[in-house]
Amino acid sequence: MSALDGKIIAITGASSGIGAALAERIARDGAIPVLIARRRDALDAVAKNCGPTAQVIVADVTVREQVRRAVAEAHTKHGRIDVWINNAGQGISRNPTELTEADIDDMVRINLKSVLYGMQETLPVFRRQGSGHLINISSMLGRMPFALIRSAYTATKHAVNALTEMFRRELAESDPGIQVSLVSPGVVRTDFGKNAMHGGPDSRSLPNSQSVEEVAEVIANVIVTRRPDVYTAPGSKARVAAYYADIGEDP
């Protein structure tokens, strides 16, 4: 029997890309995916690939009330939620000097508030259970701000990283049965680039990319191992260490 067998795993942004690949991956090992996104037709297509146990919930995770409803629907159907994965997000293609207030507001709403809502609204369920696992999908750009056109996206992912760490530290004291993990992919071959606000290069055309299946495999392993902080591409940790070794000087 797989370690994922029977686990109720909710995934936001499950209609395509990493979310869809992860849903199909965990379903193969007997997990019950709860698929959350805005597009029912796309969710239904993913659910078909996951099998009859998959649950579809249409919700906009940038709206707290809709996240609360999604949590309630999942819990009502299954009686528990074992893992909640904050995967939904969107990029933007605009240099920092060109950013508008609307750009920043959109990025905060989509990439940061959606994560906060997911963690806060799932927490009461986890506390009643005495266990649970929150997983936030970040980015290498949340570690190293090296892509100018992704400036606002990068800023929100840095914020997600900090929020994840602070959530983990608080819950380690108050609710040790609840784990909080961060997963940082690099370039992934999805529609992320094409769907970025203001357009942008196709992620599939960029070097050193990973497939969604490779990333999904790493996340599935995080569910099993409950490791707190994981990169999806080999060598990423060393790249980050080298980046910060060259920044700043002692007084």
Catalytic residues: 153
Q: Tell me how far apart the alpha carbons of residues 47 and 27 are, in angstroms, rounded to a whole number.
A: 10
Q: Tell me how far apart the alpha carbons of residues 144 and 148 are, in angstroms, rounded to a whole number.
A: 11
Q: Residue 113 has which token pair? A: 């508030």
C-alpha closest to that of 122 among 182, 167, 162? 167
